Amino acid sequence: MAFDFKKEYKEFYMPKNKPSIVKIPKMNYIAVKGEGNPNDENGDYKKTIGLLYAIAFTIKMSKKGSHKIDGYFEYVVPPLEGFWYQEGNKLGIDYHKKDTFKFISVIRLPDFVTKEDFNWAIQEATNKKKQDFSNI
């Protein structure tokens, strides 16, 4: 059965209804930054999230190719996480100005993924998808 981060780390992915302090250990993530209205069909958000998932699934499916990752185990790709903000807005978020949103979206990677494995995944996805993954 595949390792599922959401089930194994419920305290991080399915917090209780009552506020509490949770200590988050060091973890590996892939990330992408962007800006603009997340609802824009041809916007930065949709494009960059597609790139992020392409890398996450390239790593997950590496077991089926020639690139073997030391310590690899079967896992479920963890959920997308994100951080949204607007620069210069002291009152929080102004939802009437979605075009000024900035974001950092991340997907957790298993600890066995090294920088070399990540670089391989970028190259592999670039070759297969014929897209630029340099901002991941």
Structural domain boundaries in the chain: 44-70+99-131
Within 10 angstroms of residue 49's Cβ, the number of other Cβ atoms is 18
15-27: pLDDT as tens digits? 888 888 889 899 9
In the chain, what percentage of residues exceed pLDDT 70? 100
Beta strand residue intervals within 2-127, DSSP E? 3-4, 28-35, 75-76, 81-85, 102-109
Q: What is the structure's pLDDT at 16?
A: 83
**Which residues contact residue 30 at a Cβ distance below 8 angstroms, ignoring those fewer than 6 apart?**
52, 55, 56, 106, 107, 109, 118, 136
